[in-house]
Amino acid sequence: MQESVSNKNIIKAAYFMIMVGLIIFSSCTYWDTSSFRYLIPEGYEGMIVISWDQENGVAIHKDGDYEVYRIPPNGLLRTNVRARSLNIIEEQFYSYSQATGKQVRLKIIDPSISKDTIESKNEFYKVGLLSGGHEGLNNMIFFITRDKNSKFMDETYCRHYYSKHEDELYQNLK
């Protein structure tokens, strides 16, 4: 009888440890996820790089649950925010007018999962999501375009383009 009680206690303790482990794991996962809002210059198409952990980088502000990333006209954003996991909960894309500051919500089409075509001026294709590092820099890299026939629609080309321009890109980020 005593052995049965002991086994029940072991099972209860194991169950308790599993539950505690799941709670800790899920809370860590929750805190390591982010919702991003990208503000992209009106009319910009091409490579976008967000470089984290930059000593002289700009601070990112929060708008509700969203971290807001204002991409400069050259597509290269240096931020002092710590590097992020690419476990993104939600992304929002807006264009902004440099002259007026007006923002317009963009519809982003992922050509790898959707065959939709662009039907309005506020629609863009987003291609690739790379996480790159170079000489200790942590980056998120993707490409946006309105042209379905753009070379950037090919993820292999995107990787090649990034590799080809990597040194020039990181000179601009230092």
27 and 41 share one domain? no
Alpha carbons 33 and 35: distance in angstroms, whole number: 7
Torsion of CA 110, 112, 113, 116, to 10 degrees: 60
Query: Are 166 and 134 a contacting pair, CB within 8 Å?
Result: yes
Alpha carbons 169 and 55: distance in angstroms, whole number: 17
The yes-or-no verdict on residue 44 having pLDDT over 50 is yes
Q: What is the mean pLDDT of residues 57-82?
A: 91
Alpha carbons 136 and 174: distance in angstroms, whole number: 11
23 and 66 share one domain? no
Would you call 12 helix, strand, or coil by DSSP? helix
Alpha carbons 71 and 96: distance in angstroms, whole number: 9
6 and 66 share one domain? no
Consecutive H or E run containing 27:
helix 2-31
Q: Detail the DSSP E strand segments found in the chain.
A: 34-41, 46-52, 61-63, 66-70, 76-78, 88-96, 103-105, 107-109, 123-134, 137-145
14 and 87 share one domain? no
39 and 27 share one domain? no
Looking at every residue in the chain, the average pLDDT score rounds to: 76
Residue owning tokens 């980088």: 57
Under the banding of pLDDT at 50, 70 and 90, the label for residue 8 is low
The yes-or-no verdict on residue 26 having pLDDT over 80 is no
Q: For the chain, how many structural domains are there in total? A: 2
Sequence-distant (6+) residues with CB within 8 A of 155 are: 112, 127, 128
pLDDT tens-digit profile of 124-133? Answer: 888 776 665 5
46 and 75 share one domain? yes
155 and 129 share one domain? yes
pTM of the model: 0.70
70 and 7 share one domain? no
132 and 169 share one domain? yes
Sequence-distant (6+) residues with CB within 8 A of 86 are: 129, 131, 140
5 and 86 share one domain? no
Query: Are 94 and 80 a contacting pair, CB within 8 Å?
Result: no
The yes-or-no verdict on residue 103 having pLDDT over 80 is yes
Domain enclosing residue 157, as ranges: 35-173
133 and 159 share one domain? yes
23 and 107 share one domain? no
